Amino acid sequence: MRYVSSRRQRPRKIAPVISTMFAVVVLAGLFVYSVYEFRKPDEVASAESAPAPAPTPVVTLTAPIPVGGEAHLRGIGETQATGTAKRSKDKDVYYLRVKTNLPGIDRESQYYEVWLLRPIPYGYFSAGEMVTNDLGEFVLEWAGQEGKNYDDYSQVVITLEAKDGNPDPSGHVMEGMFE
C-alpha cells in the first residue's frame, strides 16, 4: 500500500528568490564600482594629464613665498623616524622639499615615495621617489606644474614601496600636515 501524505505541497514562489539575487548582484556591483572610484588616482597623476615629474634637483630660490609653511613628519607604527616637509612658491611654481632620517633600505628592491594628499575632495598624487643626500638622509626636491595650485594638498605621506611596477601607494611609514 502506498502512503499518501495529507499535506499538500505548495508551489515555490520564485519571485522573492530572483529579486533577492538581483539585489545582491546590484549591491556587489556598487561595491566594486565604489572601490574602483576610491582607488582611482587624482587627476594630477592620471594618464590624461602630464605624469608627475621625477624628483630632480631644484635650483635655490630667491625669496620664496610661503604657501603653507612646514609640516613636521612623524613615523607611523614601528618607524621612529622624523623629518620635515617645506613648501614654497616662486613665480607661480610650487616647490616641495622633504628631509627625513628614515632607516636604510635595500635600494635594489624598495624605495620611499612621497605623496601629497587633499582631504576634500579626496585626492592624492606622487611627488616622487626619495633619494639620499651626502649625510645619508632621505630627501626629495619637487617642482609642481607651472600655474597649478597645490594649496589644497595639506597632508604629506611617505610610503615604503616595492619595486614591482605597482603605482598604488602601500606601506605607510610617515605622515605630517602643513601648518
In-domain check, residue 46:
no
Kindly state the average pLDDT of the residues 130-139.
92
Let me know how long the chain is.
Answer: 179
Which residue range forms the structural domain that includes residue 160? 52-177
Half-sphere exposure of 157 (CA within 13 A, CB side): 19
In-domain check, residue 104:
yes
Cα(82)–Cα(99) distance, rounded to whole angstroms? Answer: 9
Q: Judge whether residue 37 has pLDDT over 90.
A: no
pLDDT of residue 84: 94
Q: Which amino acid is at 65?
A: I
| pLDDT tens-digit map of 79-128 | 889 999 999 888 889 999 999 999 999 989 999 999 999 988 899 999 99
Cα(35)–Cα(9) distance, rounded to whole angstroms? Answer: 45
Number of structural domains (the chain) is 1
Q: Is 112 exposed, middle or buried (0-12, 13-18, 19+ CB in 10 A)?
A: buried
In-domain check, residue 159:
yes
The whole-model pTM stands at 0.62
In-domain check, residue 97:
yes
Q: Which three cell numbers stand for residue 88?
A: 614654497
In-domain check, residue 100:
yes
In-domain check, residue 47:
no
CATH code: domain of residue 78: 2.60.40
